[in-house]
Amino acid sequence: MKTTPRLLLAGTISVLTFSCAIVRPGEVGIKQKLGKIKSDHLAQGAYVFNPFTATVKKIPTRTVEAYNELDVPTKEGLTVKSEISLLYHVKPEAARDVYTKYGMNYQEVIVETNFRSVARHICGLYYAKELFAVDRKKIEKEIFDELATGITDKGFVLDAVLLKSITMPPQIFQAVENKLKSEQESLQMEYVISKQKKEAERMQIEAEAIKNYNKTVSESLSEMMVKWNSVQVLKGLVTSNNSKVIITDGKSPMILSDK
């Protein structure tokens, strides 16, 4: 009976003296003992440590999402609302340096701070109507390229930038929409005018062809009419009872009898 309390006491002392940290897949552990950070990160597995002298911090290395709602400026000085998500992860081999330099709040300190600066810079290169109409993939790529340059050497890998929405104040939205509609109508009118010009050119060519055709036919008919009239005159002379002398150019047909 005396053994049981002793065992309980020993178990309690062991629990208080030693703790176990489990590093799961998709994260690494950083062990800090007496204020000093160990040089190597802890891979997945179980680790026993003394809670009075050491701690184990776990840093995710899987891809995580950082969602942001931002008011961003435009080239003409307006402000629009945007929803943008970042997908990024910490390099396992850089986890110790990330923790040492930025602590556990590294996402806010480095990733999101850099992102907000880059997003405002990129959006500021576009007019409001361009942000509304331009291909989102283009803006995403520009933000991605500039942001990746700023955080890659700090121990992070940027996986993607997702521009979910851009929202303008109602009055600005309506003004931009009206302007885009006006530009579309202008382009449509230019197309119609161009089409009509081409149709006019086609009709002119067709009319010229018809004119030439009619001219050819007219000239041909005129020659035939002259010959027909000549025949009629000759016929009249032939049928006359008076004596006559007929002189021709040799091309008119001769009629010796009307029968």
What letters, b where the CB count within 10 A reaches 16 and e where it falls short, cover 18-33? Answer: eeebebeeebbbbbbe
Of residues 26, 87, 23, the one with CA closest to residue 56:
23
Q: What is the reported pTM?
A: 0.58
The span from the first CA to the last CA of the chain, in angstroms, equals: 163
CATH T-level fold of 64-174: Tetrahydropterin Synthase; Chain A (3.30.479)
Whole-angstrom distance, CA of residue 226 vs CA of residue 228: 5
Using a pLDDT cut of 90, give the percent of the chain over it.
25
Tell me the pLDDT tens digit for each residue of 142-167.
999 999 999 999 999 999 999 998 88
Tell me the pLDDT tens digit for each residue of 38-89.
767 777 767 776 777 777 788 888 999 999 999 999 888 888 889 999 999 9
At 194 the pLDDT is 84
Tell me the pLDDT tens digit for each residue of 119-137.
999 999 988 878 877 778 8
The DSSP call for residue 107 is: I
Domain extent listing, the chain: 12-60, 64-174, 224-259
Tell me the pLDDT tens digit for each residue of 66-79.
999 999 998 888 88
| Dihedral sign of CA atoms 37, 41, 43, 44 in order | positive
